[in-house]
Amino acid sequence: MPNIYQVARYHALRRPEALALADRTRRIGYPAFHAMIRRVAGMVAAAGAGPGQRVVALLENSMEYLALYHATALGRFILVPANVRFGAEEFSFLLSDSDPALVLFDNRNAALAETARRWANDRGVVMRNVEQEGWGETPFACDAQTDRFGAAEDEEVALILYTSGTTSRPKGAMITHGNLAWNCINYLVEAELTSRSRSILTTPLFHIAGHGVLNGPVMYAGGALYIMPRFDAEELWQVLHEFRPTNLSLLSAMWVLFTDRYSSRDGTFPEVQTVQTAASPLSQARQDEIQRMFPNAEWIWGFGMTETCVTTIRTRNMAEMRAHPGTMGQPWRHIRFRLADEAGRTITEPGTVGEFQVKGPTVFKGYWREPPAGGAAFTADGWLRTGDLFHIDAEEYTYFVGRSKDMIKTGGENVAALEVETCLLQHPDVQDAAAFGLPHDLWGEELVAAVVARAGRNIDTEALMAHARAHLSGFKTPKRLFVIAELPRSSSGKVQKFRLQEQLR
């Protein structure tokens, strides 16, 4: 299985004129990117981080950060991307859990990095400000064969990505070089990416989407990638005009910010072929506006998670979504899947709800510091338990019901939070919504919801409650509504319901 470094070197040799990367000030081809990977790998080795050792990256998106990612297959170190929105306590947890040999940071994140200086000094951990000390000038020392193909084997860990769970402390998901390569192959085959594909890296590289959704696969195909240090709606608008991407993927929260700032009245982008979202649902009104802004693009929706190296299910086009309303699409060809009931039995009857479980070459190796078999993440016979509830029709179109852990059990009835949220989002005054349970003596859990008003609008809670009662069963209607300024979200855009429960109980 080819690794990400090997493919970058392949394009450097065979397509030396092709644009690889662009940002606010630079445009480089694949030969320059390959040389950058070699220098970054050399810097990591010189700092003392060898095979199997962890390198924490507290960095904004950049060309060099992408080179660091590719360099894992050359130097065989393990990259641990840190969330740049962490507080000191969260960053300290990541450091103590991952036990790195090297911590890389930039000026923007220097203050957070410095909170760990004493910890690093006590343990002999090297800390390097790459903006002040540089990314290195000496290429990684290796023989010709290693320069061609890298040094990592498929089963070796390339990344430890700390999952942004909604209910507990993050866990370090171990993503292998084989996982990354197979994910790229899935995208090339299923999304029809080619060397003519162009995309924009808007998602942070501490999130699996930063590596796996379009961005990594576009480079694997030999296409071009524009790198944004952080998402910014105004910069994205400018880059869309200047870079003219063929494919665009934003997290749902990014789509909200972008469409709140711009609309099709400001301009359209007919050259974009696909637009994609992930993390949480968007209202139909917002989806309609996105389609007007990108008139020739297929609207793509899908399902994935860090533990599956991102996507496992994806729609192909708008016609498919119209023919099968509410579908997530069909599972991709390089995975095996099943639905299982609470007893672990495989469900074969179409339309029956069960937990979506997966096997395949994109499934992660397990959680860092947990048993080799993956602990509770896997069934006894090796299926990854996604924790997500689906039903599948006779044509194998999938329909997401909700998180098995995001079910509110109230008065003996199970309510999927997603169903309640989808209903609330259809109200014209609601921009964002989260349904969750609060402890209740009689019902066990009281079904409540937090909502955020659209810009320039006010939410009449009685009118919104009437809207919910008109569309939901009585036991699925929130007993209370909280109007708040914004929902607390993780870096991936997932609503952190445990924070809402802490704030509103």
CATH number, residue 368: 2.30.38.10
C-beta of residue 392 within 8 angstroms of C-beta of residue 411: no
- Would 295 be classed as within a structural domain? no
Last residue of a domain, one of 380, 403, 426: 403
Last residue of a domain, one of 190, 214, 238: 214
What mean pLDDT comes out for the span 3-21?
A: 97
Tens-place pLDDT, residues 39-93: 999 999 999 999 999 999 999 999 999 999 999 999 999 999 998 988 888 899 9
Q: Which residue has the higher pLDDT, 406 or 37?
A: 37
Same domain, 80 and 164: yes
Residues whose CB is less than 8 angstroms from the CB of residue 397 and which lie 6 or more positions away in sequence, other chains included: 324, 327, 328, 329, 330
Cβ atoms within 10 A of the Cβ of 118, count? Answer: 9
- Would 226 be classed as within a structural domain? no
Q: What angle do CA 157, 312, 252 make, to 5 degrees?
A: 100
- Would 197 be classed as within a structural domain? no
What mean pLDDT comes out for the span 402-410?
A: 76
Same domain, 365 and 411: no
Same domain, 76 and 166: yes
Give the integer Cα–Cα distance in Å for 166 and 405. Answer: 9
Weakest-pLDDT range from 154-163, 287-296, 351-360, 435-444: 435-444
| pLDDT for the residue numbered 373 | 55
Residues whose CB is less than 8 angstroms from the CB of residue 373 and which lie 6 or more positions away in sequence, other chains included: 366
Task: Report percent pLDDT > 90 for the chain.
Answer: 72
Tens-place pLDDT, residues 218-260: 999 999 999 999 999 999 999 999 999 999 999 887 898 899 9
Write phi, then psi, for 180 (nearest 5 degrees). Answer: -65, -45
- The pLDDT mean for the chain works out to 92
Instruction: Provide the residue range defining the domain that includes 103.
Output: 4-8+26-176+206-214
Q: For residue 331, give the amino acid letter.
A: P
Residue 94 vs residues 59, 84, 114: alpha-carbon distances, Å: 14, 12, 14
| pLDDT for the residue numbered 279 | 61
Structure tokens at 360: 């395949």
Q: Which residue has the higher pLDDT, 1 or 137?
A: 137
Same domain, 416 and 354: no
Residue 491 has pLDDT above 70, yes or no: no
- Would 231 be classed as within a structural domain? no
HEC-encoded secondary structure of 249-316: EEEHHHHHHHHHHCCHHHCCCCCCCEEEEECCCCCHHHHHHHHHHCCCCEEEEEEEEHHHCEEEEECC
| pLDDT for the residue numbered 167 | 45
**CATH number of the domain enclosing 99:** 3.40.50.12780
- Would 128 be classed as within a structural domain? yes
Same domain, 338 and 484: no
Weakest-pLDDT range from 287-301, 304-318, 437-451: 437-451
* Residue of 219, 202, 212 lying closest to 19 (CA atoms): 219
| pLDDT for the residue numbered 256 | 85
Residue 166 has pLDDT above 70, yes or no: no
- Would 251 be classed as within a structural domain? no
Same domain, 460 and 337: no
**CATH number of the domain enclosing 496:** 3.30.300.30
Give the integer Cα–Cα distance in Å for 162 and 495. Answer: 16
Tens-place pLDDT, residues 167-199: 456 789 999 999 999 999 999 999 899 999 999
Domain count, the chain: 3
Give the integer Cα–Cα distance in Å for 487 and 450. Answer: 8
Cβ atoms within 10 A of the Cβ of 210, count? Answer: 23
What mean pLDDT comes out for the span 278-296?
A: 84
What mean pLDDT comes out for the span 305-323?
A: 90
Same domain, 33 and 49: yes
Same domain, 64 and 171: yes
Residues belonging to the chain = 505
- Would 311 be classed as within a structural domain? no
Hey, CA dihedral for 260, 261, 267, 269, is it positive or negative? negative
Give the integer Cα–Cα distance in Å for 185 and 1. Answer: 10
Tens-place pLDDT, residues 372-392: 655 678 999 999 999 888 999
Give the integer Cα–Cα distance in Å for 239 and 244. Answer: 7
Q: Is 208 left (phi over 0), alpha (psi -120 to 50) or beta?
A: alpha
Structure tokens at 82: 């840190």
- Would 16 be classed as within a structural domain? no
**Cα-to-chain-centroid distance, residue 199:** 16
Same domain, 337 and 448: no
What mean pLDDT comes out for the span 356-360?
A: 96
| Residue for token pair 């009857």 | 349
Same domain, 417 and 340: no
Write phi, then psi, for 127 (nearest 5 degrees). Answer: -115, 135
Weakest-pLDDT range from 275-289, 300-314, 323-337, 447-461: 275-289
Same domain, 80 and 171: yes
Same domain, 395 and 489: no
Last residue of a domain, one of 343, 372, 403: 403
C-beta of residue 60 within 8 angstroms of C-beta of residue 229: yes
The pLDDT confidence band at residue 165, using thresholds 50, 70 and 90, is very low
